[in-house]
Each structure stands twice: as C-alpha cells, then as structure tokens.
Amino acid sequence: MNFMLRGAALSITSSDILRATRDASPAPIDGRNKYFLEVHGRRFPIKQVVRLVTGLPSIGFTAQDAHRILTRLGFEIFEGRVRSPGNAGTPRHASSDPASFVEPGATHQDDGEVRRLLVVFQTDEDGWEVASCPALPGCHSQGRTREEALDNVREAIRGYLASLREHDAAPPPSSEYQIVEVRS
C-alpha cells in the first residue's frame, strides 16, 4: 500500500511490518507510548514499528501517522495503559455518562444538540498535545498546544457525530471513568 509520510512517498505492506518486527525487540514500556501493535506475541510501540519498516527517525513522524499507516494495513492497534491493582484512590467524579462533560460556557444552538463529552489530553513523545474523546472510539486529534489540540478534537468530534447521524447509527454506549490520586 502506498503512503505519504511527511512528504515522503512510501510503499509498505503488512508483510513488511511482520518481517521488520520478527527479530526486533520491543522498546521498553516506559509510559511515553500510548498505542501498541501486538505481533509475534510481543507488544511494540506503534512508532517503533513504523521506524523499523521505514528507517525514518521517530522524530520524523507522529504517533498519529503510525496509527494511520498500521490501521490502513489492517492491523489492530491497542491502547496500553498502566493500571494499578484494584480501584485504589478516591474518585473525584464517577459517572455512567462521560457525555455529561462540556467546556464551561457551552450553550445550546439551533443547528444541533450540544453534547457533553470528556476529552483527555496527553503529550506524545514528540511534544505534541494529543486530545482523545474516550466516549467516541478512535476520535483523536492533536496540536502543538493544548488549545490547538482542543480546537482540532472539537472538529473531529463534530465529524464523528455527523457520520453517526449520516449512517443512522446511535452513539456508542456510555462508560464510567474514575480519577485516581496516587502519592508518588
């Protein structure tokens, strides 16, 4: 399959991915990586996989680029989270509806219903702010600043919801979340 990656034309196949990872050791899981590809019984950070296959330095592309390439090749990407045993900690807020959160000052508009959606931010290994909407699987965006990432993920959410409406699909079921405090 042909891809453009930061202006470079690349031809990558799923076989190339399997070959490149066959004898490679996965990078250590140190908390900087959020998304992984499981192959040959091992979990590789997605940027490492694309770096192995292309020879490009990790700084030359984003995790979002790697995610796009690997999913287009048919690979399933897993979100890796470090979890502590049990549900230790005091919840600041728990809800059965993560769609109950919205930026302060949001108002209803005549052109559509205002939805309240939780957005989570994380700085990726390249210093970009990545914004994700957990209630809408796969709905992510990024920006050089948190404000830019928020503007971009708002647009991604609008597109996601428009696509659901266009296909007469219901939004995904709500899920519960909990913020945990841990003394380090």
The string of pLDDT tens digits covering residues 28-78 is: 776 678 889 999 989 999 999 999 999 888 888 888 889 999 999 999 998
* In-domain check, residue 182: no
Same domain, 99 and 66: no
Same domain, 6 and 71: yes
Give percent of the chain above pLDDT 70: 76
Same domain, 61 and 111: no
Same domain, 108 and 44: no
Same domain, 108 and 71: no
Residue at which a domain ends, from 79, 112, 133: 79
Mean pLDDT in residue range 107-117: 56
* In-domain check, residue 126: yes
pLDDT of 175 reads: 59
pLDDT of 13 reads: 93
pTM: 0.46
Same domain, 74 and 110: no
pLDDT of 110 reads: 41
pLDDT of 24 reads: 93
pLDDT of 6 reads: 73
Report the number of distinct structural domains present in the chain. Answer: 2
Same domain, 98 and 168: yes
Residue at which a domain ends, from 49, 79, 109: 79
* In-domain check, residue 177: no
* In-domain check, residue 99: yes
Q: 164 is in which domain, residue-wise?
A: 94-172
CB distance 44 to 85 below 8 Å: no
**What are 44's strand-pairing partners?**
37
Q: Three-class SS string for the chain? A: CEEEECCEEEECCHHHHHHHHHCCCCCCCCCCCCEEEEECCEEEEHHHHHHHHHCCCHHHCCHHHHHHHHHHCCCCEEECCCCCCCCCCCCCCCECCCCECCCCCCCCECCECCCECCCEEEECCCCCEEEECCCCCCCEEEECCHHHHHHHHHHHHHHHHHHHHHCCCCCCCCCCECCCCCCC
pLDDT of 93 reads: 33
Same domain, 16 and 58: yes
pLDDT at 18 over 90: yes
Same domain, 66 and 117: no
Same domain, 111 and 61: no
Same domain, 48 and 105: no
pLDDT of 109 reads: 42
In this predicted structure, which of 84-93, 138-147, 165-174 has the lowest mean pLDDT?
A: 84-93
pLDDT at 83 over 70: no
Q: What is the mean pLDDT of the chain?
A: 78
Same domain, 101 and 64: no
Residue at which a domain ends, from 21, 47, 79: 79
**What are 4's strand-pairing partners?**
9
* In-domain check, residue 86: no
Give 177's pLDDT tier (boundaries 50, 70, 90).
low
Mean pLDDT in residue range 160-182: 77
Mean pLDDT in residue range 18-23: 94
pLDDT at 111 over 90: no
* In-domain check, residue 89: no
